[in-house]
């Protein structure tokens, strides 16, 4: 049974936020959600260097810090944060456009970003993904082959604090252990009142 969702675009009912520490599978879950709903993926700006396999405009829009600062000063960001020494931000216009057209939009952002989104869109749907175990989280991060041991250690050390902060923030509708991709996506779709496609 699919829930009837009469949506109030000013409340952001169709904004779906996915957060979690490094290595929990956020990008994979977001891609599956976008295909299942269907939804637009909100491509964030970042000032960090592009990783191998990434494409500008697909995972992120890679821009210089000066351009990021200009966009932020002009009010063009829904949310922004500094993470591991780099700026990240969600462009406001694609989110506003999706809501005006009554379409789903998926954001992959951190806790501080989720709090900012929730302030603007109180009805946004927010999910925090948890790793099945620290060992699995480490395996996933190492498997990316994008970070050195020092960065991996920093990401893993930060994970417990992030999880605690997320729980204390009161910002998230649901915490989901991402130990099974299909199960995770099905649970999110269920909360959204949507059915898993066959």
Q: Are 18 and 187 in contact, with CB atoms under 8 Å apart? A: no
Helix (H) or strand (E) holding 128, with range, is strand 125-130
Q: Domains along the chain?
A: 15-191 (3.40.50.300)
Residue 52's φ and ψ, nearest 5 degrees, are: -55, 135
What's the predicted TM-score (pTM) here? 0.83
Indicate the average pLDDT of the chain.
86
- Tell me: the pLDDT tens digits for 105-124? 999 999 999 999 999 999 99
Q: Are 192 and 159 in contact, with CB atoms under 8 Å apart? A: no
- Tell me: the pLDDT tens digits for 149-183? 776 667 666 767 788 899 999 999 999 999 999 99
Helix (H), strand (E), coil (C) string for 28-90: HHHHHHHHHCCEEECCEEECCCCCCCCCECCCEEECCHHHHHHHHHCCCEEEEEEECCEEEEE
Q: Are 84 and 22 in contact, with CB atoms under 8 Å apart? A: no
- Tell me: the pLDDT tens digits for 123-133? 999 999 998 76
Q: With 50 as the cut, is the pLDDT of residue 9 above it?
A: no
Residue 159, classified by CB atoms within 10 Å of its CB into exposed (0-12), middle (13-18) or buried (19+), is buried
């Amino acid at each position: 049974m699919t829930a009837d969702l009469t949506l109030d675009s000013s409340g952001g009912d169709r904004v779906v936020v996915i957060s979690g520490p490094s290595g929990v599978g956020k990008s994979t879950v977001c891609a599956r959600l976008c295909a299942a709903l269907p939804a637009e993926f909100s491509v964030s700006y970042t000032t960090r260097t592009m990783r191998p396999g990434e494409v500008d405009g697909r995972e992120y829009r890679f821009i210089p810090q000066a351009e990021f600062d200009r966009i932020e000063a002009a009010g063009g960001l829904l949310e922004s944060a500094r993470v591991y020494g780099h700026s990240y931000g969600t462009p406001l216009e694609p989110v506003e456009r999706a809501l005006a057209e009554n379409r789903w939009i998926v954001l992959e952002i951190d806790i501080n970003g989720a709090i900012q989104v929730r302030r603007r869109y109180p009805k946004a749907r927010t999910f925090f993904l948890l790793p099945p175990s620290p060992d699995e989280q480490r395996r996933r991060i190492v498997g990316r082959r994008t970070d050195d041991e020092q960065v991996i250690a920093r990401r893993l050390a930060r994970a417990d604090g992030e999880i605690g902060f997320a729980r204390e923030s009161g910002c998230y509708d649901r915490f989901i252990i991402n130990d099974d991709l299909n199960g995770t996506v099905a649970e999110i779709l269920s909360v959204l009142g949507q059915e898993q496609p066959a």
